[in-house]
Homo-oligomer: A and B are copies of this chain.
Amino acid sequence: MKNIDDVLQGIDGALDESIARLFELLRFPSVGTDPAFHGACRDAAAWLVRLLSGMGFQTRMDETTGQPVVVAEYAPKGVPSHAPRILFYGHYDVQPPDPLDLWESPPFEPQLRKGADGEARIFARGACDDKGQLMTFLEASRAWIKAKGGLPFHLTVLLEGDEEGDSTHLDRYVAKNRARLKPDIVFICDTGMWDARTPAITTRLRGCIAEEIVISGPSKDLHSGYYGGAARNPIRVLTKILGELHDRNGRVTLPGFYDGVDPVPASTRRQWKSLNFPEKKYLKAVGLSVPAGEKGYPVYEQIWSRPTAEINGIYSGYTGAGSKTVLPAEAMAKLTFRLVGRQTPAQIRKGLRAFVKARLPADCRVRYKSEGGDSMAATVAETSPWVRLAQEALTAEWGREPVLMAEGASIPVVGTFKSSLKVDSLLVGFGLEDDGAHSPNEKYNLTSFRKGTRSWARIIAGIAEQQERRKS
């Protein structure tokens, strides 16, 4: 590997300045979903524009239908036009800090505290998700440019402010700017490590679709004494339908649900098995002991490679104190489906509607509310040269082969890049399970920040090396 000691030394030598910059960013209460904080979002975006301009990027703030995006283009010196075009994506918005009383220090006043284990941790909302993570890439780029004079590729940095809210704002922006953005690969730093010592590359994400379903029956709420036993009760209809959503083996019973669910390649299955996924620990952490998913699959396959139907909320009738003998006029449930392989949101929606229709009794009507943010599953081929490059870089930095893992959650933007720009994403991140993203006392280990920055420097070095090889 190309000599990059100068870059790594630069990163370590300027670590305090890097932390100071991250702290500045963390001080903006950029809660994208709360209008009260939209000013703070704009301030955070403006700060990022200044930061990237100062690094020599051509930077602008672009309006969207939501929070502004920051777009920074880096025109490399002396790099041929065939050099790769990389889009780095991150988000500057954060989750609301509530409940505030559970925070040990104010969420927008970052603190660096050393724990009993000797590890220093940065505490703040967004410390990990995604300000700390996105800064690892920016700080690596800064150190590289300082040491080497310029990056070995074309780079566009795209930072949005609606990731925790309505992803359709960015979807529209990407669709409108398709031609300008079109890269060879997207780099994203918004995922986790396997554990505190083992880096990871995430090669699979499940897709997601959300639907609200409302069953209505009588024209008004009824007295269960006068009508109970003769009138259709929408809660009974809804619970009956939802109760049949899975068979006794935990398989989803919607027609056509499993179309496009490909078997996991034997090599991936072997690799996953070798990870010794800590099934018991994973369940015990949330008060459970027995896998409750599809029979015949280990827990990690249940969450990484199997699709699901889950009920996330249900509401109808009287739910206050005591009893009220009402038969409600309607009953509502919120569902989400996690998708894998080639499952499409349209296919799931069609299956759900056919399923409900087949079970809807006389005198009942149903309506659906699609919640938006549909996404297909995203898969990066484990044999992709980008994955290989990242594997080598991470191995060099952490002294361990990175785990090629999957994640049960969705990052809808990965689907957006895939469908809108026809391009894969390389998901490398340094978050840890105990970072508390979305929770009080969110933190990012100093090790994640420092070695994350160094990891990106090594990835940049890998690309530089490829360029060298091409040249020679």
A410 to chain B, nearest CB (A): 6
> Are B292 and A230 neighbours in the complex by a CB distance under 8 Å?
yes
Q: Contact between B322 and A371 (Cβ–Cβ < 8 Å)?
A: yes
Q: Does A244 contact B (CB under 8 A)?
A: yes
In whole angstroms, how far apart are the Cα atoms of A220 and B440 in the complex?
Answer: 14
- CB neighbors of B among A274-327 (8 A): 282-283, 286-294, 299, 302-303, 306-308, 310-319, 322-327
Chain B proximity of A430: nearest CB distance (Å): 17
User: Beyond A217-B288, A230-B299, A292-B361: 19 further Cβ-contacts under 8 Å?
Assistant: A212-B323, A225-B408, A227-B408, A229-B308, A229-B338, A232-B290, A235-B313, A235-B314, A236-B311, A239-B243, A240-B243, A242-B243, A290-B361, A290-B363, A311-B317, A314-B319, A314-B331, A323-B371, A324-B334
Q: What chain B residues lie within 8 Å of A239 (beta carbons)?
A: 238-239, 242-243, 311, 314
A326 and B338 form a contact (CB under 8 A): no
B-chain residues with CB within 8 Å of residue A217 when the two chains form the complex: 287-288
Top 7 A-B residue pairs of the complex, sorted by shortest distance between their CB atoms: A243-B243, A225-B409, A219-B287, A313-B317, A210-B323, A229-B308, A323-B371
Please tell me if A450 contacts chain B, counting CB pairs below 8 Å.
Answer: no
| Contact A229 B306, beta carbon cutoff 8 Å | yes
A224–B289 touching, CB < 8 Å: no
Chain B residues in 8 Å Cβ range of A179: none
Task: For A312, give its contact among B241, B327, B333 (CB under 8 Å).
Answer: B327
| Interface status of A226 (Cβ within 8 A of chain B) | yes
A223 within 8 A of B: yes
Which residue, A245, A292, A315, has most C-beta atoms of chain B within 10 A? A292
Is B315 within 8 A of A314, CB to CB? yes
Report B-chain residues with C-beta under 8 Å of the C-beta of A306: 229
Determine if B230 and A363 form an interchain contact, defined as CB atoms under 8 angstroms apart.
no
> Which residue from B288, B294, B315, B407 sits with its C-beta under 8 Å from A232?
B288
Which of chain B's residues have a CB closer than 8 A to the CB of A290? 232, 361-363
Given contacts A231-B288, A236-B242, whether A318 and B312 have CB atoms under 8 Å apart is yes
User: Taking CB as reference atom, which chain B residue is nearest A325?
Assistant: B336
Question: Does A206 make an interface contact (CB < 8 A)?
Answer: yes
- Bound together, the chains give a CA A240 to CA B333 distance in angstroms of 14
Assembly CA distance A7 to B146 (angstroms): 110
Instruction: Pick 12 A–B contacts, CB within 8 A, sort by A.
Output: A218-B287, A219-B286, A224-B310, A225-B338, A229-B308, A232-B292, A236-B245, A236-B310, A290-B361, A318-B334, A323-B373, A325-B409
Chain A contact patch, size range: 35 or more
Q: How far is the CA of A409 from the CA of B336 in the complex (A)?
A: 39
**Residues in chain A within 8 A of chain B (CB atoms):** 206, 208, 210, 212, 217-220, 222-233, 235-236, 238-246, 282-283, 286-294, 299, 302-303, 306-308, 310-319, 322-328, 331-334, 336, 338, 361-363, 371-373, 407-410, 438
CA distance A230 to B290 in the complex (A): 9
Q: Determine if B302 and A313 form an interchain contact, defined as CB atoms under 8 angstroms apart.
A: no
Given A334-B323, A336-B228, A336-B323, check contact A235 B288 (CB 8 Å). Answer: no
Contact (A407, B288) CB under 8 Å given A243-B244, A303-B230: no
Q: Within the assembled complex, what's the spacing in Å between the Cα atoms of A410 and B289? A: 44
Q: Is the CB of A228 within 8 A of B311?
A: no
- List the B side residues contacting A289 at CB < 8 Å: 362-363
- Is A286's CB under 8 angstroms from B218's CB? yes
Question: With A and B bound together, what is the CA distance between A409 and B230 in angstroms?
Answer: 13
The listed residue (B229, B291, B310, B314) touching A294 by CB distance below 8 A is B229
Contact between B292 and A409, CB atoms less than 8 A apart: no
Q: How far is the CB of A65 from chain B (nearest CB, A)?
A: 16
Residues of B within 8 A of A333 (CB): 235
Structural contact, A286 and B231, CB atoms closer than 8 A: yes
A236 to B53, CA, bound (A): 52
The residue on B at minimum CB distance from A224 is: B310
Q: A292: nearest residue on chain B (CB-CB)? A: B232
A118 to chain B, nearest CB (A): 28
A303 adjacent to B226 (CB under 8 Å): yes
- Contact A229:B408 (CB < 8 A) given known A288-B217, A313-B316, A314-B317: yes
